[in-house]
A and B are shown apart, each in its own frame.
Chain A
Amino acid sequence: MYQEQGADVAVIGGGHAGCEAALACARLGLKTILFAISLDSIAQMPCNPSIGGTSKGHLVREIDALGGEMGKNIDKTYIQTRMLNTAKGPAVHSLRAQADKFRYKETMKLTLEHTPNLRIRQNEIVKIHTEALEGSEGERKITGVETATGAYYPCRAAIICTGTYLNSRCIHGEYETLTGPNGMQSARGGLTENLASLGLPLRRFKTGTPARVDGKTIDFDKMTVQEGDAHIVPFSFENTADGIRREQKPCYLTYTNEKTHEVIRANLHRSPLYGGVIHGIGPRYCPSIEDKVVRFADKERHQLFLEPEGENTEEYYVQGMSSSLPEDVQRDMLRTIPGLEHVEIMRTGYAIEYDCIDPLFLEETLQIKTIRGLYSAGQFNGSSGYEEAAAQGLVAGINAAMALLEKEPLKIDRTNSYIGVLIDDLCTKGTNEPYRMMTSRAEYRLMLRQDNADLRLTPEGYRVGLISQERYEAFLQKKAMIEKEILRLQQTRALDEEGHSHGLMSDLLKHPENTYESLAAWDQGREPLPEAVWQQAEIQIKYEGYIRREEAAIAHFHKLEKRQIPEDTDFLSIQGLRLEARQKLNAVRPLSVGQASRISGVSPADINVLLVYLARKNSMKEEGEDTK
């Protein structure tokens, strides 16, 4: 082992989590080094070629509001963009873009390269060096990281972002390879063993990806074409629609059929999933096609989307056909599908198993509970998805930096962001499968809209130092304009063509059939405003009743969060608690009653018991003080 020039922060892995983590630390002025097993895998999208979608689009907007990179990078490299759910309420409008995979990662890598304080190094980290933390019981702190080539880099913090690379194995039917995603090298040099020896609870998760096929061999005429939106909404609040407008590429919709299912059923015995070869826990929400056919046997067809992998390629991603069946079966089943009769596979679909951590072992800062300075983010934490990974990378990066700069950690929770929901779900509820964000997971969904992510989070992004003064001032100006317009609408009478009053504009706007735009003719004195401004005014007035109630619910939430549970509480000994609840509480060790109430397996009745216990403990303490 030889010593290399150290850094404040070492980021292990260059995926979506690693990129955000490294950028955040470097931008906050810390000397940062990012290690990737291959520099060609930086910001790689080894599965679907898209960013965003329901709730994931929200995450990207929030990443942007906090000063992260993902939104800007997809705005530079999208080849199709759509706002989903526009027929539903504003809270669930969701932005999704098809990405040019190749340009996406190349653009991100260039951003990393041009960021001051940031070094990029192709190497595998095989060991985390720690020492005992003074004045603590059994806690340790990080001192440096060691590469497979024997280099030692001293550091004050490290962020593990190993994605699906750690000890990974890919399975295509009977054929297995000890590789990472997309044929990349797996991280097998000893990091798993090292982390286990540090006492981290590791587990094995599984995910999968479908085949990529040659576009020249697809008959698109047999499929339904799906174009992008003409009305473009950028992911980044710094961009304008006109600033990022470009030619879009379509996607195509087709379906499986009974013949496809026959091929699958006839070859199930060759499936590693059903043959017991795969032991990792796979997610419910992205089942392989063989899984779908078995579990939903009465379904006659399953939807498939053909999505371009980029502009300068003929490769298409077959969304809906994720599979670990042998490649000849994959070929045969694809060829039963209308439009894919003569299709040629370019990359075979596969299942991948990898090592990750039980996220209950993390603090809400994403620091590992027992090792000061060691953080983790992304799929290593049991999540799934590029956006979930990037969000955690940003949070871990900011918090690592805040700790080194001796500043307050990032203030996020379930009431101000999907990122808060994500982190709290992982660290409090834990997960038994790769965790995917969904809008249904957010209790305060109406408050956490994609359109107001900047209003919710820009001040915090500014406080930690990732939002520039210029952007912050523009934000304040926008906010003032929104407030002014709301006030104006609340005070302006709607007058029809003959000058008759129809009541206040704000009252009219509350009728479901009216919109800000449809009321234009009756709205005297309306000045042209940016869409982002009047849209906020419209939403805040239109849904005022619901918003008020969600605000009340949020106030209640904060009240429960403030009911603190002493850190030394022995949950196992609380009488009256069901055994399951005792164990769950003991595993998570919640710091507030609110957090305790969200732990799965802890019922409202258990919370009552906990409240009684805390009240009793308090009164006993007082009694004890009285007798002194």
Chain B
Amino acid sequence: MNISSTVCALSTPVGTGGIAVIRVSGGSAFPICQKILKNKGKKLSERPSHQAFFSDIIDSTSGELLDQGLILPMKGPGTFTGEDTVEIDCHGGMYICRRILETLVQAGCSMAQPGEFTKRAFLNGKLDLTQAEAIMDMIDAGTRYSLKAASSQLKGRLLLEADELRNELLSMLVDIEVNIDYPEYDDLPEISDDDIQQKSMDINQRIKKLLVTADSGIRLREGLSTAIIGLPNVGKSSLLNRLLREERAIVTNIPGTTRDIVSEMADLQGLPVRLIDTAGIRETGDLVESLGVKRSFDAIEKSDLVLFVSDREFLLEEELKLLQSIGSKTWFFLINKTDTLQHEKASLEAILQKLSEEKLPLPRRVIHISALTGEGIDELTEEIRETFFSEDVLEKDMPLVTNLRQKEALIRASEALDRVTSSAGMPQDLLSIDLHEAADALGDLTGKSARDDVITQIFSRFCLGK
């Protein structure tokens, strides 16, 4: 991230209201925005801070009128990011937003990376790290369920649970350590080897329960990576449009500005589904043409779910070739009713038979859809929910692991406790190595470090000394 640049991004989900807000932040926010505004008033830099005004919004090169809206200039450091900031309230359509962002980029802005405003706010001293993390999660929450995950996080449910587990580990460590450092005391409570084993297993169970929800939790935050593949003209673009329009898409990136493979977030009845390489599908209309093949392989590589679209109930040679690249990924076989639906019926069994013969992976589900009418999309949504989002996570109010850092910390703690179990019979001071490791891992999650805590507790709980 280059903090000296000026960045822009859409700050509201497209279409959730009639108005969208585009935010521009950085040292050149005012002069850049000046280039896309046309009105009779003063220059942006001469206007009072934090006072909105009405203006035409134009294409900076052609002068074409793009939209009209309210412009709010705000001078740093009294802004969220601490930098000069301009907010542009425009109409909420995806096309308009895209055009305005494009012209801002032409005028000298860079597209903001996800969470960049928060990062800037943090780097400019406007937020501390924990606040920043929680806000980033809230911002990233694209859908109803994501928001739920983020707010559970904000309430600190995961942190509370991790802290409690850590305290139990610390208390066990205190019992072990005090006997090591004060062996001559005969009245200290000794913790038995069995106790250590039992408690470690109990704590490990609770960590593993948290981990079960981790993949779903992370998916809620980041969206389920999904690739749409298939031969030309089977209806991939119409499926894409259907998925994005069905519940109104949130554009997280603009093609060609930041990444090679662009993804868009679809909201399927609250489930965040990130469709990979939507640009590829849009630009070329298909992925199997010359350059398209490699792209579809890349998309498969990055995905958790592959939607394989076909418009007939049997498989062509090229399709079999494409399916070879799926490997062990979960895939759904979507049979799309197109206008030119070829009624060359073959039984589903025959298809599965064929796949087995070719030693190709079988689809998790086969779903008949119509990208044009929307038929079967509900069923698709239901299958996605069932396969990828655990019920526990969606409906129950339990602590959620929503990012990789948290997941890794929990795995580290759990592995350390596994080692305590497999090392039964070893002296306690050696078991304490892994108990410390587990406590440290949980401390990484909660932001605390263990060793001083153990020593403090030793002296507050026991009566020791000459």
Contacts and interface: CB of A to CB of B under 8 A. Distances in A.
Q: Do A and B bind each other?
A: yes
Contact of B186 (A91, A303, A440, A512): A303
Interface stretch (B209-217, B311-319, B447-455): B447-455
A320 B466 contact: yes
B426 A89 contact: yes
22 contacts: A85-B180, A91-B429, A94-B183, A283-B465, A286-B465, A286-B466, A429-B452, A438-B177, A438-B455, A439-B177, A439-B181, A440-B458, A575-B122, A575-B125, A576-B125, A604-B444, A604-B447, A605-B128, A605-B129, A605-B130, A623-B2, A623-B4
A445 B180 CA distance: 12
Given A576-B125, A576-B128, A603-B447, A88 B427 contact: yes
Q: Which of B124, B130, B182, B429 has its CB near the most chain A CB atoms (within 10 A)?
A: B429
A48 B3 CA distance: 61
A604 to B, nearest CB: 5
B461 to A, nearest CB: 9
Interface string A284-328: 111100001001100101110100000000000001101000000
Nearest to B177: A440
Contacts of A586: none
Contacts of A84: 183-184
Contacts of B464: 285, 287
B123 A612 contact: yes
Given A292-B465, A441-B451, A605-B130, A88 B428 contact: yes
Nearest to A291: B465
B454 to A, nearest CB: 6
Nearest to B127: A576
A441 B130 CA distance: 28
Given A600-B452, A612-B123, A616-B123, A322 B465 contact: yes
B433 interface: yes
A603 B451 contact: no
A600 B130 CA distance: 19
Nearest to A321: B466
Contacts of B184: 84, 303, 305
A92 B2 CA distance: 51
Nearest to A296: B463
A438 B181 contact: yes
A543 B127 contact: no
Contacts of B128: 576, 578, 605
A608 interface: yes
Given A54-B180, A285-B459, A446 B447 contact: no
A299 B463 contact: yes
B122 A292 contact: no
A88 B123 contact: no
Given A292-B463, A440-B455, A623-B4, A513 B425 contact: yes
B46 interface: no
Given A292-B463, A299-B463, A319-B466, A604 B449 contact: yes
B448 A603 contact: yes
A154 B268 CA distance: 84
Interface in A35-68: 47-48, 54-55
Interface string A437-477: 01111010110000000000000000000000000000000
Interface in A92-117: 92, 94
A549 interface: yes
Nearest to B459: A284
B430 interface: yes
B185 interface: yes
A565 interface: no
A91 B458 CA distance: 20
A54 B130 CA distance: 40
Contact of B449 (A54, A284, A603): A603
A549 B433 contact: yes
A608 B129 contact: yes
B349 interface: no
Given A305-B184, A441-B451, A576-B129, A89 B430 contact: yes
A178 interface: no
Q: Which of B129, B130, B182, B185 has its CB near the most chain A CB atoms (within 10 A)?
A: B129
Interface string B123-158: 111011110000000000000000000000000000
Interface in A184-234: 209-210
B463 A295 contact: yes
Contacts of B26: none
B73 interface: no
A561 interface: no
Interface in B351-405: none
A175 interface: no
A91 B429 CA distance: 8
Interface of A: 47-48, 54-55, 84-85, 87-89, 91-92, 94, 209-210, 283-287, 292, 295-296, 299, 301-303, 305, 319-320, 322, 429, 438-441, 443, 445-446, 512-513, 543, 546, 549-550, 575-576, 578, 597, 600, 603-606, 608-609, 612, 616, 619-620, 623
A322 B463 CA distance: 13
Given A94-B183, A440-B451, A604-B443, 14 more contacts: A47-B466, A48-B466, A88-B429, A89-B426, A209-B466, A284-B465, A438-B177, A440-B180, A443-B436, A443-B451, A446-B430, A603-B447, A609-B129, A612-B123
B433 A54 contact: no
Nearest to B465: A286
B194 interface: no
B187 interface: yes
A439 B122 CA distance: 39
A609 B129 CA distance: 7
A507 to B, nearest CB: 16
Going nearest first, the 3 A-B pairs with the smallest beta carbon separation are A575-B125, A89-B427, A512-B425
A358 to B, nearest CB: 18
A605 B447 contact: yes
A445 B183 CA distance: 17
A322 B447 CA distance: 39
B170 to A, nearest CB: 12
Contacts of B452: 429, 600
Contacts of A597: 449
Contact of B123 (A287, A513, A575): A575
Nearest to B182: A54
Contacts of A89: 426-430
Contacts of A319: 466
Contacts of A620: 4
A287 B465 contact: yes
A578 B177 CA distance: 31
Contacts of A322: 465-466
Contact of A543 (B2, B180, B430, B451): B430
Contact of B183 (A85, A299, A441, A605): A85
Contacts of A576: 122-123, 125, 127-129
B466 A546 contact: no
A217 B291 CA distance: 100
Given A54-B182, A609-B129, A546 B433 contact: yes
Contact of B430 (A54, A91, A292, A438): A91
Contacts of B463: 287, 292, 295-296, 299, 302
Contacts of B181: 54-55, 438-440
A121 to B, nearest CB: 32
Contacts of B186: 303
Interface string B423-440: 001111110010010000
A575 B183 contact: no
A576 B123 CA distance: 6
Contacts of A609: 129
A460 B283 CA distance: 67
A600 B452 CA distance: 8
Contact of B426 (A295, A512, A550, A578): A512
A303 B185 contact: yes
Contacts of B454: 440
A503 B129 CA distance: 54
A612 to B, nearest CB: 7
